[in-house]
Amino acid sequence: MNQRYVYLLAALLTVIGLSVFFYKWQVLGFPVTEDQEAPVWTIESAVNFQSGPGSIKVQLNVPWLTPGFRTLNENSVSRGYGFSTNFGSGGREAQWAIRRADGEQTLYYRISVYEDDRVNESDTTPPFPPTPTIIEPMKTAVDVLVDDVRDHSADTASFTTELLRRMNDPSPDSNVELISAGVSTSAEFVDVITTLLASARIPSRMVHGFPLSGRQRSAELVSWLEVHDGDRWLYFNPATGEESLPDRFLVWWRGNEPLVNVEGGSNVQVDFAIQVNHLEAVAIAETQAALQGTSAVDFSLYSLPIQTQAVYSVLLMIPIGALIMVIMRNIIGIDAFGTFMPVLIALAFRETKLFWGLILFTLLVTLGLTIRFLLDKFRLLLVPRLSAVLIVVVMLMLFISMTSHRLGMEMGLSVALFPMVIIAMTIERMSVVWEERGPADAIRAGLGSLAVAVAAYTFMVMPWLEHLIFTFPELLLVILGFVMLVGRYTGYRLTEIRRFKELTRD
Amino acid sequence: MFSAAKKLRETGVLGLNERNTNFIMRFNPRSLYPRVDDKVLTKELALAAGMPVPDLYGVIVHQAEVRGFAEIVGDKNSFVIKPAQGSGGDGILVVTGRSERKRDSFRLSNGLLISEGELQHHISNIVGGQYSLSGTRDKALIEYCVHFDPTFAEVSYQGVPDIRVVVYRGYPAMAMVRLPTRASDGKANLHQGAVGAGVDLASGITLHGVLDDVLVEEHPDTGALVAGLQIPQWDFILESSARGCEVTGLGYLGVDMVIDADLGPLILEMNARPGLNIQIANCTGLANRIARIEEIYDEAATPAERAATARREFPAGA
């Protein structure tokens, strides 16, 4: 009965711990490994214009549905202007308004995005476009071209490819020549293509955006073609007819509306600059979770002040040490002084590094023991003697630090990081065992403590483990569950198999 | 390794983890621990239950009383100083005599002479808590030094051999004799190098011995055979051990007794966490016997009946 509750509780703790962990990992995107940095692009658009005499209203198309990218944040810098974002006919728009302005005006809109493959957003299936009204003789040319292309294609995708191939033909036929007369920019070209596709009752639209790579001081918008095949949107390279999207293509806006619309201003010019930063994946996940309003972040350690974070990143390794301790003591069965002494020693090893830690610890305990045996001659009472040992330990630390500093070995300075009270108690315990059970037992238990400390240290310095626990402190629940299970472990300890070997003989 | 563990399981060997979780935590409520951890209390309880214990000469509770040590001892030639809350025989001094010329010099069981000042220092260490289980202040007992029965003279090196009986829910489950060696410094503690010899519960005759977890046939110092010794008053010993359950209320208990040449078996102390070496000494596991006791457990049985049941149920080799 009792037993079952322990199992239930342990299972419950594990389930809670793991589900919070998976939620934060899979849904919020907290990284499980340490140095996951993700590139974050900041695209800044500067709208430049000469203000007119009256009130000014500026509308700028801004990103909305961006396949492959997720928005980290966006903001606008525009002194004196009222700013808002809302949905217009072409998608999302940033809107600035001001009653009166003088001279040249510059409005900034800035958006930061990062790559996220899971974003595969497309808007709803569009209706079949109405047949565009095209006047003769253009209409005949369009009809002939569309019919011809339809004969040479099987579906929407192949139709589009074939159409683009013909339109891009270096030696175009007369129909194509007629249709593409007067087309100079790539945007105009894509515009013509959408009209042609509409004549064939194929929904299509123009997309504008940037292939993101490194830093670009002035980025050029690239126009692309989007065609709906009835199920989803397909992307076509208008210049080659290839069905693809450029690498890391950030869709800025869709449709053939102009990028910017300024009422009450003139000489409008929009410049784009792209900046790339590498942000820690954790920071991105945090911002993302905050946007979603998840409370998981309220309990994140990353929201603490940096100094407190540093303290906790060390403190959170203590449960790991305790876990190792439990395994070493109850499953393997190694003798050690004190319950948590090895964990605290391992904690000190983190600072001193293993090699020097072992040397300093052994030195300190050996010297301490020697002096403890000398003190024994004076027959001091217990508490004064313990205090004397503690004081001696502090003085030894000072002595080791100063000597090693003189010798130019700076590692000796870190001896001060050892928990001196724990060391003093260890020396006392060890000397008692030494007297009572002999040096062999004392040294064996001393080495056992060191072995446990080294094992705990090995795990406590694993950077990925530290990151994992720090980012997902809920995993402590899993450790707690496991430790509780070991608390009900009634099997043999490994060392007992050796101890009772006489009983395994036939 | 797994096959070894399986073999241990088949032999019914009890491991530390299982002992702690299934027996100590289940049958030994923490509140009853003082009854066995404080030897003064144990002595009082045992006396109240009519069980024989070594005579208590005095208890030193405060550092200031340490100087009164000489008055407690009086002109007694032999006595034992032990911490009330010691464990594993730590901190026990056995004084067997005095120096002929200097009356304030005492001879320890190992033959060494020790001054009264050194004895007082030892007592003040005990009172300060150096040997106590929890590290807190303790009391020092000064009591009758057992003149041990000649039965084990051949298989003991100085010190006093004692008999440990593990009692499960009032039923004696297993027993061994612990024989001091030179290595154990006269102490009857297996951890310190004493020899443990299993005992046939049915007859009270010793089996082979165990030293440092290895089976031995002879005492390492005297060379005498460990097996085949008849423990005197075995019935009485088993019954007293069984009574230990009523006295302490503990369901998993180790009762330590000594046999005095004049006074017969005396209860030295009781233990709420008896060690598991007894299984090696008896070449059999405790788990099987515990399971059998669970089967035949009778709440109404008297200590004498339970002792008889144990003699019937657990002969050597069973």
- Summarize pLDDT for A378-409 with one digit per residue, the tens: 877 777 888 888 898 889 888 888 888 888 77
**Number of domains, chain A:** 3
Q: Are B213 and B280 in contact (CB under 8 A)?
A: yes
DSSP B145: P
Q: Are A14 and A477 in contact (CB under 8 A)?
A: yes
One domain for residues B167 and B309: yes
- For residue A18, with 0-12 CB atoms within 10 Å meaning exposed, 13-18 middle and 19 or more buried, which class applies? middle
The 10 Å Cβ neighbour count of residue A5 is 9
B10 touches chain A (CB under 8 A): no
B15 touches chain A (CB under 8 A): yes
Does residue B174 lie in a domain region? yes
User: Chain-wide mean pLDDT for chain A?
Assistant: 82
Q: Order the strands of the B171-179 sheet from edge to edge.
A: B214-216, B205-211, B195-200, B171-179, B162-168, B252-260, B264-271
One domain for residues A232 and A197: yes
- Looking at B111, B128, B143, the residue that finishes a domain is B143
One domain for residues B295 and B161: yes
Distance CA A368, CA A360 (A): 12
Distance CA A266, CA A253 (A): 22
Largest CA distance in chain A: 120
Instruction: Select from A441, A491, A504 the Cβ nearest to the Cβ of B15.
Output: A491
Cis amide leading into A31 (omega within 30): no
Distance CA B58, CA B81 (A): 10
Q: Which residues in chain A (309-338) have CB-CB distances under 8 A to chain B?
A: 330, 333
Is B5 in Cβ contact with A491 (below 8 Å)? Answer: yes
- Looking at B110, B143, B176, the residue that finishes a domain is B143
Does residue A3 lie in a domain region? no
Split at pLDDT 50, 70, 90, the class of A110 is confident
Domain extent, residue B119, equals 56-143
Does residue A153 lie in a domain region? yes
Does residue A454 lie in a domain region? yes
Split at pLDDT 50, 70, 90, the class of A90 is low
Question: ∠ CA(A478), CA(A302), CA(A286), 5° rounding?
Answer: 95
**What residues contact residue A190 under an 8 Å CB cut-off, 6+ apart?**
A206, A223, A224, A225, A238, A256
Split at pLDDT 50, 70, 90, the class of A298 is low
Backbone phi and psi for residue B168, each to the nearest 5 degrees, phi listed first: -110, 115
Q: What is the pLDDT of residue A294?
A: 63
Helix A439-460 × helix A463-471 angle, to 10°? 70
Domain extent, residue A367, equals 310-473
One domain for residues B308 and B209: yes
Contacts of A502 in chain B (CB under 8 A): 210, 213-215, 280, 283
Is B11 in Cβ contact with A503 (below 8 Å)? Answer: yes
Does residue A204 lie in a domain region? yes
The kind and range of the H/E element at A446 are helix A439-460
**Number of domains, chain B:** 2
A495 touches chain B (CB under 8 A): no
Count the residues in chain A.
506
Is B124 in Cβ contact with A503 (below 8 Å)? Answer: no
Does residue B258 lie in a domain region? yes
Split at pLDDT 50, 70, 90, the class of A481 is very high
One domain for residues B100 and B18: no
Does residue B318 lie in a domain region? no
Q: What is the pLDDT of residue B293?
A: 92
Alpha carbon distances (Å) from A318 to A10, A312, A334, A343: 20, 10, 19, 7
Distance CA B206, CA B156 (A): 14
Q: If you count DSSP H runs as helices and E runs as strands, how many of each does chain B have, helices first?
A: 11, 13
Instruction: Select from B17, B90, B215 the Cβ nearest to the Cβ of A490.
Output: B17
The kind and range of the H/E element at A233 are strand A233-236
Q: What is the pLDDT of residue A14?
A: 93
* Average pLDDT of span A413-424: 77
How many C-alpha atoms does A491 have within 13 Å on its Cβ side? 15
Is B210 in Cβ contact with A496 (below 8 Å)? Answer: no
One domain for residues A449 and A315: yes
Does residue B253 lie in a domain region? yes
CA-based nearest residue in chain A for residue B190: A437
One domain for residues A270 and A419: no
One domain for residues A314 and A433: yes
* Average pLDDT of span A475-487: 92
Does residue B301 lie in a domain region? yes
Predicted confidence (pLDDT) at residue A361 exceeds the cutoff of 90:
no
One domain for residues B60 and B44: no
Q: What is the pLDDT of residue A123?
A: 62
One domain for residues A273 and A205: no
Is A436 in Cβ contact with B213 (below 8 Å)? Answer: no
pLDDT, tens digit, for every residue of A162-181? Answer: 888 888 878 777 777 778 77
One domain for residues B252 and B200: yes
Helix, strand, or coil (residue B139):
coil
One domain for residues A243 and A266: no
One domain for residues B138 and B7: no
Count the residues in chain B.
318
* Average pLDDT of span A230-258: 82
Q: What is the pLDDT of residue B241?
A: 92
Beta bridge partners of B97: B107
- Least trusted range by pLDDT, from A66-75, A248-257, A407-416: A407-416
Q: What is the pLDDT of residue A36?
A: 66
Is B213 in Cβ contact with A500 (below 8 Å)? Answer: yes
Q: What is the pLDDT of residue B254?
A: 93
Is the full-model pTM beyond 0.90? Answer: no
Instruction: Please report the ipTM that was assigned to this predicted complex.
Output: 0.73
Give me the total of CB pairs closer than 8 Å, taking one residue from chain A and one from chain B. Answer: 84
The 10 Å Cβ neighbour count of residue A214 is 9
Predicted confidence (pLDDT) at residue A450 exceeds the cutoff of 60:
yes
Q: Are A345 and A421 in contact (CB under 8 A)?
A: no
Residue with tokens 């300093």: A360
- Looking at B123, B143, B163, the residue that finishes a domain is B143
Q: What is the pLDDT of residue A483?
A: 93
Q: Are A17 and A474 in contact (CB under 8 A)?
A: yes
pLDDT beneath 50, residues of chain B: 318
B251: CATH = 3.30.470.20
A64: CATH = 2.60.40
Split at pLDDT 50, 70, 90, the class of A349 is confident
Q: What is the pLDDT of residue B277?
A: 84
- Among residues A499, A88, A147, A303, the alpha carbon closest in space to that of B279 is found at A499
Does residue A107 lie in a domain region? yes
